[in-house]
Copies of this chain bind each other. A is one copy, B any other.
Amino acid sequence: MIDRLAEKIREKNAPVVVGLDPMPAYLPPQLLREAVKEHGETLKAAGEAIYAYNCGLIDAVHDLVPAVKPQIAMYEQYGLPGIEAFQKTIAYAHKKEMLVIGDVKRGDIGSTSKAYAAAHLGKIAVGEKTFCPFDEDFATVNPYLGSDGVLPFVDMCNEEKKGIFVLVKTSNPSSGEFQDRIADGRPMYEWVAEKVAAWGETAMGHGFSRVGAVAGATYPEMGVRLRALMPKAMILVPGYGAQGGTAKDLAGFFTKDGEGAIVNSSRGIIAAYKQEKYASYGAEGYAEAARAAVSDMLADIRGVLGG
């Protein structure tokens, strides 16, 4: 799957993933209104509105970018109907030939991590039948529990030819509280990066590893260093746009061939219609606004990569 992702990025000249984080405030009002008309003011209505929102977004951007990244928290908060929307969104993205990065930030130990890996990347048996519960292509993983927590995901990646992105240096302001602490002469995130590289050695695709990393665009100086520490890792880079990262900040995350990174934007795309720049599309034109914002983002990033 990591090979397919690298290939699709090349093919579309688009190292970009659209984050499907349907915050209640982003949802175009007409979609909720319609869903409420059918299902009343229920969690089911919220789930259906979110799914409709996502389908519109996927239809609008699927030819431009290789992947979407649904953030499961935004679905989980609507209970079972929300999680059903997460599941249906994944299936719809696959139907439109997009890859899906489940931004689930799971992580536990041993058999528990294995259960998460089965849920998001693998299969589960009931009697003689097997099921793919959520069937993402990639999942994000939290490393705080160490190898016991991550290796069950790595095993699943090898078994199912899927991939993970391990949190190394996150894009938020307080990420330094623990991640930047100098331990034995190096910041903690470098120790995590080194482990990511080691785990990744056991899970190589052609070129890149099935074990990737998350590193925030808001810390560009760290990009160069992390790129060097994890030469085979695809780096998922959040923080572009709304969080303050610019295209210039991204260069260090890429290899010298301009590969090996994929930049996420969520709000800047899915809620583009709320920005002054794209306001003329209106809430009804949220999908076209998203397409325009993706095109602008691609031009911005290509400019820096010289692509």
Contact = CB atoms under 8 A, between A and B. Distances in A.
A111 interface: yes
A192 interface: yes
Contacts of A173: 148
A134 B143 CA distance: 26
Copies in the complex: 2
Interface residues of A, number: 72
Interface string A97-139: 0000000011111111101101110001111110101100000
B79 A87 contact: yes
Interface stretch (A68-76, A204-212, A280-288): A68-76
A177 to B, nearest CB: 4
A265 interface: no
Interface in A35-62: 36, 41-43, 45-46
Contact of A181 (B45, B131, B183): B183
Interface of A: 21, 23-24, 32, 36, 41-43, 45-46, 71, 73-74, 76-80, 82-84, 87, 105-113, 115-116, 118-120, 124-129, 131, 133-134, 142-149, 167, 170-179, 181-184, 188, 191-192, 195
14 contacts: A24-B125, A41-B127, A73-B106, A73-B119, A74-B115, A76-B119, A78-B119, A78-B131, A78-B133, A105-B106, A177-B195, A178-B192, A181-B184, A183-B183
